[in-house]
Structure 1
Amino acid sequence: MDQLLSTPAIAQGLRKVETRVQRLGGSSALPAINDAAGRIIRAGGKRLRPAMTLATSLALGKTPDRRVVTAAACVELIHAGSLVHDDLMDGATQRRGARTLNAELGDGRALVVGDFMLARAGLAAITAVSRPVAEVLAAAVVELAEGQYLETTDLFNPHRTKESALRSVTGKTAALFRAGCLVAAVCAHASDEDRVRMAAYGERFGLLFQILDDLLDLTASSERLGKPAGNDLRQGVYSLPLLMTGADVSDLLGRDMSDERVEEVLRRLRAGGIVDITLAYCRDLAADAVTALPAIRDQEVATLLRELPDAYIQRVASLAQLTPVG
């Protein structure tokens, strides 16, 4: 992942994306909204989604121009707005070690800021990129909302199915990765087949990205996460890694999760092989992602995209294996 982000053409493009994201996030007529959106934008993150947009453009033979940079910025702004909504729905007070907007401003104002960021991305896409790109991003926001809603219908449900969890993850996370690759393909005027292939690559990567994030919530320390370990358990979100493991934890799950009960669930999950089972599942997704890639003439970019899924798995594997919980 670090190699992708540090590739000169992508690193240069990301600097332009960063400038564009900050301008979009600071474009409200109300300074208070600009300040709040700016806090989220400046809070950190690897900018992996726009990096994949830029990489897709290069892979399809198009040097990222203003339209591609703006499309990538819109992808990142949608992601940032969705984080505001996620924190609001979870009642979270911290993200990456900093207080969330809902903790600082209250639920109502945080909701409006998240709405502003999503709407501003859509407006920029249709006015500064193209209608087809705006349609792709709007469809991704619809899927994001549906995926998040589906998750809420299964909160605290010990009988949640793996299929339901996968549908939720596809909507709330993988759809935006897919869209990031697809908008670059649209800007590059790629063939229908290449658009389908790049979209499939982005979706498969997005799936493994979220599943591995869910794994870390169940295996990494609070210090590593920047939020309490096992937070999904407290929120009643029974993620795919939990559902795939053979560990029996149903007697401990519920709405009143003490720290001791959470630690016991996490201990049982690790003993039940949750790390190995989840990593094996994600390796299959990584193989599917690489298979989906179209022919890429630029060998450097081709290598980056082929190696990215496995490199990300290895990064998370080291954290999951070496940072005990409890």
Structure 2
Amino acid sequence: MATAQSSKQSSNQGQSAVPTMPALARALPRVEDEIRALATSSSLPIVNTFSGRITAAGGKRLRSVLILSGSLAVAGTITDKAVTAAACVELLHAGSLVHDDLMDNAEERRGVRTVNADWGPGPAVLVGDFMLARASQAALDRISPFAASRLARTVAELVEGQVLEVMDLYDAHRTPDNALRSIELKTGALFEVGCVLAAHCADADEETTTAMARFGGLFGVMFQILDDLLDLASTAQRLGKPVGNDIRQGVYTFPLLRALTDDQRTLLARRGRDLSDAELTGLLAELRQTSLVADTLAHCTSLAARAVRALPDLPDSEALGILRELPGAYLDWAASRIA
């Protein structure tokens, strides 16, 4: 989350951490084509303008890589259904970000003006809703009722995760477990559904699907914890966006809650909503002198290892190698961005 005044732009943050291969390189443009078609499929041009602009701003597309690699590892090929699944998950993610921007009163994301900044809060709700609905509709029409059901379930989990976060805003006594539960629902669920759909589009059995789901969920949690760490321990120059935004917004994250001293917790309890820039800068400087970074990276290293161990027993292939490599590659990328 970010302050109203701060920019959320990031030049495809983390993209260099994503391994690729020829089959993926050929499939990813097809995913982009489907995202664009779905995002601009409204009968109302103004909805297409805003939905299309948000999705065209890009992003890591890490979820697409997971889905395409997962389907390729299981079935040996990337089917049309897998491409559609990747587009649906990316569109769902984008729609949830439109809602996030509205709640944060953010003005930019990835260098593009947000819907709420240009058109107002009410229309932003509607554009986000359109994107979420279109993702589930495409899954129903082009993949299966199961795929549509899983996407709809994920939307519910995203909402629940956001509600848990809102309930704990500016709560200096929020527990790390509460923060972790919000992460599991907000980010873990989206990675998990991507891996479930990858297996589903490859006609995988239940055991393989369950293993893929476990891999995706663990990877998603690790991904978000690293993102939260960078907001505390990186710099605007290295990330391409301001840092310290979570604390400004009252979102006290898993890495922060595990690192706070009693005095720092008291500061947030007393000054949280009115924390000055100087106080925030001082707090971040203090945190960077502790074991915050080392402890969080160690925790994420464990999550990455658990994710790789959770992968199903599949024949060795380049695609399976990418799945094994992704958690560690993203961990290394994030560590390289720490000040």
Q: What is the TM-score with the length of structure 1 in the denominator?
A: 0.95
Deviation of residue 17 (structure 1)? 0.5
Q: 1:5, CA displacement in angstroms?
A: 4.7
Percent identity, please.
53
| 2:273 matched residue in structure 1 | 255
Q: Which residue of 1 aligns with 2:42?
A: 28
| Match of residue 300, structure 1, among 294, 304, 318 | 318
- For 1:118 and 1:62, the matched residues in 2 are separated by 30
Indicate yes or no: 2:193 matched with 1:170: no
Moved more, 250-259 or 10-19: 250-259
How far off is 1:312 after superposition? 0.6
1:267 CA displacement? 0.9
Counterpart code for 2:310 = A
Q: Which residue of 1 aligns with 2:110?
A: 96
1:159 alignment partner in structure 2: 173
Deviation at 1:251, TM superposition (A): 3.1
Contact kept? 2:188, 2:216, Cα under 8 Å: yes
1:217-246, Cα deviation, whole Å (9 max, x unpaired): 112222444443111111100000101115
Could you tell me how far apart the structure 2 residues matched to 1:162 and 1:3 are? 27
Q: Is the 8 A contact 1:3 1:304 kept in 2?
A: no
Q: Where does structure 2 lack aligned partners over 5 or more consecutive residues?
A: 1-14
The Cα of 1:140 is off from its aligned counterpart by 0.9
3-state SS, counterpart of residue 228 of structure 1: coil
Flag the 1:116–1:224 CA change in 2: closer, same or farther, 3 A. farther
Distance in 2, matches of 1:98 and 1:232, equals 20
Q: Distance in 1 between matches of 2:231 and 2:114?
A: 18
Number of the residue aligned with 1:315? 333
Counterparts in 2 of 1:2 and 1:318: CA distance versus 1, 3 Å: closer
Instruction: Tell me the amino acid that sits aligned with residue 316 of structure 1.
Output: A
Q: Is the 8 A contact 1:17 1:73 kept in 2?
A: yes
1:38-78 Cα distance to aligned partner (Å, 9 max, x none): 11111121211011000110110241221111111000000
Work out whether 1:269 is the aligned partner of 2:269: no
Distance in 1, Cα, partners of 2:307 & 2:89? 20
Stretch deviating more after TM superposition (2-11 or 216-225)? 2-11
The whole-number CA distance in structure 2 between the counterparts of 1:216 and 1:261 is 19
- Tell me the TM-score normalised to structure 2 length: 0.91
Aligned counterparts of 1:112 and 1:219: Cα–Cα separation in 2: 35
How far apart in 2 are the matches of 1:100 and 1:220?
24
Aligned partner (choices 127, 131, 135) of residue 141 of structure 2: 127
Q: How many angstroms does 1:296 deviate by?
A: 2.2
- Letter of the structure 1 residue corresponding to residue 125 of structure 2: L
Give the number of aligned pairs: 321
Higher RCO (C-alpha under 8 Å, 6+ residues apart):
2
For 2:143 and 2:77, how far apart are their aligned partners in 1? 15
Cα deviation per residue 1:182-227 (whole Å; 9 max; x = unaligned)? Answer: 0111121111110010000000100010110111111222244444
User: Which residue number in structure 1 is paired with residue 130 of structure 2?
Assistant: 116
Match of 1:242 in 2: 256
Residue 221 of structure 1: aligned partner: 235
The RMSD of aligned alpha carbons is: 1.4
Q: Which amino acid aligns with 2:145?
A: R
Which runs of 5 or more residues in structure 1 are unaligned?
none
Write the distance in 2 (CA, Å) between the matches of 1:193 and 1:157.
Answer: 40
